[in-house]
A and B are shown apart, each in its own frame.
Chain A
Amino acid sequence: MRTNDIILQTLAKSFMFVVIAFSFYVFLTGHHHPGGGFIGGLMTSAGIILLLLAFDWKVLKTVIPIDFKILVAIGLLTAVGSGMGSFLFGVPFLTHTFGYFDLPILGKTELATATIFDTGVYLVVVGITMTIIQSIGESE
């Protein structure tokens, strides 16, 4: 018998965006404030899991049609690639740099190559969390 989860589903739909938005915030401010790729990735996964709890795998796969294992690979490639990028400038592996730019809407903003690396971390964390939960959840 399937119970009617209308309250849960409605709340999940709205709260999911809040959680994911906060996770982006935590991820992006990681360089200056507590947070970063790891915790941001975990929070994003938490948002996805909220959706999963309210609905089911079928819905999740239509909403987020991603193979999370590939996400792990992309994340690792991003992290390694950001490290390899330093070779182009003739500096040692994983040398980062940063600078301040005036961007159209945001104004004066700091852009750091470390963020690319952190993006890799973020993607890997989302990927592995979801892979683990998916593997365990789908097994009988």
Chain B
Amino acid sequence: MSFVHMAILAPFVFTLIVPFLYRYIRQIHTGWFVLVVPVLLFLYFIQFLDGLSMNEPIRTTVQWIPSLGINFTTYIDGLSLLFALLITGIGSLVVLYSIYYLSKGKEALHNFYVYLLLFMGAMLGVVLSDNLITLYMFWEFTSLSSFMLIAYWYHREKSRYGALKSMLITVFGGFSMLAGFLLLYIMTGTFSIREIIAAAPGIVEHQLFIPALILVLLGAFTKSAQFPFHIWLPDAMEAPTPVSAYLHSATMVKAGIYLVARLTPVFAGSAEWLWLVAGFGIVTLFWGSFSAVKQTDLKAILAFSTVSQLGMIMSLLGVGSAALYYHAIDDNIYIVAILAAVFHLINHATFKGSLFMVVGIVDHETGTRDIRKLGGLMSFMPITFTLAIIGSFSMAGLPPFNGFLSKELFFTGMVRVAQLDIFNLDTWGILFPILAWVASIFTFIYSMILVFKTFTGKYQPEKLDKKPHEAPIGMLIPPIILVSLVVIFGFFPNLLSYSIIEPAMAAILPGLLGPGDHFHVHISFWHGWTIELFMTLGVLTLGVLLFLSLRKWNGIYDYFPQKLALNKFYDGGLVLLERSSAKLTDSYMTGIMRHYLTYIFAFFIICLGASIFLLDAFKVDLTNIAPIGVYEAVLSIVLVIGALVTIFAKSRLTSIIALGAVGYTVSLFFVLFRAPDLALTQLTVETISVALFLLCFYHLPEIKQDKRTELRISKLIISVGVGVIMTLLALSSHSTKLIESISSYYVENSYTEGGGKNMVNVILVDFRGIDTMFEITVLGIAALGIYSMIKLRLERRNEG
């Protein structure tokens, strides 16, 4: 158990004491105690930075189920560390923010922090696990804790709806991903990501490669809210704002990004990977930014914006996988896409986190998040306004903030896709830069809406529940820190490049580096009059024009996107699923015993009939047959008549007596076939059962006496079918004797070993006495059952 394992498990362990802290230390906000965990973890993880720039991953193992190849193996390289720092760093800020956001008296804080810590530990586990099964376990933990966090205010209908939706979608993806992992295991024979990457070149041609790729991508796309699975994210905004800021902007939704980046060395050899990842990413980018413009709720804007930005990172990862086709590191122009993905990942976490916190402040101080009610808050909340403007401008990709840099790199990556000469990208690749450019315009518009509709314009006090004022300082500190990072990374991007971006890139593209080598990244503001710069200028011009004329053209949203809203498909699909399964179940679970018997017998006929037919098992062998005497023939005729009378009798009494005749005929058969014990028993038992039948007959109520004999075709077919099948089976089994009977042993040994001349009795009490013992137990149970059914008639007692 290394320190890394303890670091992952620390949040889980801390959840155990949170309820006690909440219960017994009421005067201090529980969040202050919780804050210690992410801060310490952050400090712990930051010390790995030194070693990593030397490209030295750290790997530790604790055995879990070694016989199945499942171990708790941790692996720290640039990518893991980047995510671990994001999780713990933003986690600390979110906990600090939540201390001021959630009221000590009104909220169930222990629940909140337990779920949050569970989530944090799970997320650390996801990014630090080297074993796919461990990774999957932590992955589902994040789904679960996210489910609970979204439904934190569980008395609200919408929270429950959002939680259920996110649960269904992410768990669907999680299961697909597990299936993909298992396929990877089948192909490579190991669950360790390191070893799978090492075995990767050999599996590209494997027939399970594409299924595994698609299944893993399903997991990544659902978790990272890619089109068309993004629909859960806007509904997850019913969660408390710190949760939205943490889970649904900075960490959980990036788990899919992490997975794609992590498995890039495995899958990036195929055209499917590039097209799927880049294609879905770019569609998500466009659709998210397009949908964000029409939203009126601030958090909904941010949700769609997150969807869009995640799509951007995803498409960059997809495009960057092209780098692996050109094995040289020098002038490999696709590496820049990976650089952009990693850089934007950091940038997005900083500005989106801060924007969520800003929105939370606005919500907290005014009581609403509806931009139609808000306006003119600039003078009331100048600090919040400043934070919002920096965050939004960075999101829109304006200089001098970090969003500008990553957006430039993004354009560079996208422009270079069109130059690829593989996988038909030379024809269709041109769509990438165009979609990226259009999406950036929409990104610009919603970023402006977010700031200017909220903070400028007319102040409408009559629509607000509270009088707005500046937030408390504790609530402002976390967004201030994030925003200063936005600015710092904007001005000094190379602070990051050496320490974290290069190791992360080395982790995503391991094959390109020689030993001891590392990527050389230099991000600069000014790189000449390139096409990217003109694209940005175009975004700026068109964006401003469109924003100013927003009222004239946003009518298209009224009838266009509603028809395409995927929520309709989701809701309708759920309803359809529920209804059709109810209908299906109702159609065969009728509650009528006759129907169930029909299924059972039909199944019986089909299975046995088919196996007799398919295995060619039917065979009649007449060599081993005894001659038929007169007595047997007569008795058989009596038996058949008795059976027919039983079926076709008009009254019950006739049926019962005919059944008795059948029973006595059977005992005569026993006499004929020399089974005296059986004959005696059959005689007495038949007498008793006929008497019991008569008893039942006598007690049947008048009304229910139904003397009609209904002959149904289906019943006829089924019963004749069963009869025929059994006859065929009996004939076949009689004709194919595969092994000798063991009865000769009993014949020889019943007197010498059992001391009796009655072989039947010796078998019953001696050779196979245990059967008899349980049979008399059965009889005893039956007697007690009859006794208690008759004596303990509670219903009647209650009525009387």
Question: CB within 8 Å of B: which residues of A?
Answer: 26, 30-39, 42-43, 46, 69, 72-73, 75-76, 79-80, 83, 93-94, 96-98, 110, 112, 114, 117-118, 120-121, 124-125, 127-129, 131-132, 135-136, 139
Contact = CB atoms under 8 A, between A and B. Distances in A.
Given A30-B758, A34-B680, A34-B758, A72 B784 contact: yes
Interface in B399-417: none
16 contacts: A31-B757, A31-B761, A31-B762, A32-B756, A34-B680, A35-B680, A39-B677, A39-B681, A76-B780, A83-B770, A98-B755, A112-B755, A112-B756, A114-B754, A114-B766, A135-B791
B25 interface: no
B668 to A, nearest CB: 15
B713 interface: no
B779 A128 contact: yes
Contacts of A124: 776, 779-780
Contacts of A96: 754-755, 765-766, 769
A35 B760 CA distance: 9
A136 B790 contact: yes
Contact of A36 (B758, B773, B776, B787): B758
B627 to A, nearest CB: 26
A65 B684 CA distance: 25
Contacts of B769: 83, 94, 96, 114, 117
10 A-B pairs closest in CB distance = A98-B755, A34-B676, A128-B783, A31-B756, A32-B757, A124-B776, A131-B783, A114-B765, A42-B684, A36-B761
B786 A132 contact: yes
Contacts of A125: 776, 779
Contacts of A79: 772-773, 776
B677 A34 contact: yes
A70 to B, nearest CB: 11
B584 interface: no
A80 B770 CA distance: 9
B13 interface: no
A83 B758 CA distance: 20
A42 B685 contact: yes
B688 interface: yes
Nearest to B676: A34
A136 B756 CA distance: 38
Given A114-B754, A117-B765, A76 B680 contact: no
B593 interface: no
A80 B754 CA distance: 19
A30 B772 CA distance: 15
Nearest to B684: A42
A83 B779 contact: no
Contacts of B692: 136
Contacts of B755: 31, 96-98, 110, 112, 114
A46 B688 CA distance: 10
A28 B302 CA distance: 92
A26 B679 CA distance: 14
A135 B787 CA distance: 5
B695 interface: yes
Contacts of B676: 34
A26 B786 CA distance: 28
Q: In terms of DSSP, what is the predominant structure of the interface of chain A?
A: helix
B780 A39 contact: no
B574 interface: no
A86 B779 CA distance: 24
A96 B757 CA distance: 15
Contacts of B685: 42
B777 interface: yes
A112 B421 CA distance: 95
B779 A43 contact: no
A30 B761 contact: yes
B647 interface: no
A99 B685 CA distance: 33
B764 interface: yes
B653 to A, nearest CB: 19
A135 B790 contact: yes
Interface in B767-798: 769-770, 772-773, 776-777, 779-780, 782-784, 786-787, 790-791
Contacts of B760: 34, 36
B757 A69 contact: no
Contacts of B758: 30-36
A94 B758 CA distance: 19
A94 B773 CA distance: 10
Given A36-B765, A135-B790, 11 more contacts: A33-B758, A69-B783, A79-B773, A117-B772, A118-B761, A121-B765, A124-B776, A127-B783, A128-B779, A132-B787, A135-B791
Nearest to A93: B770
B787 A69 contact: yes
Contacts of B786: 131-132, 135-136
A69 B784 CA distance: 8
B688 to A, nearest CB: 7
Interface in B578-628: none
A76 B776 contact: yes
Given A69-B783, A76-B776, A36 B790 contact: no
A128 B761 contact: no
Q: Which of B680, B695, B770, B777 has the most CB of A within 10 A?
A: B680
A82 to B, nearest CB: 9
A9 B790 CA distance: 29
A125 B776 CA distance: 7
Contacts of A26: 680
Interface in B661-686: 676-677, 680-681, 684-685
Contact of B680 (A39, A94, A98, A128): A39
Contacts of A112: 754-756
Contact of A120 (B754, B757, B776, B782): B776
A125 B695 CA distance: 21
A97 B681 CA distance: 26
A75 B110 CA distance: 62
A62 B733 CA distance: 56
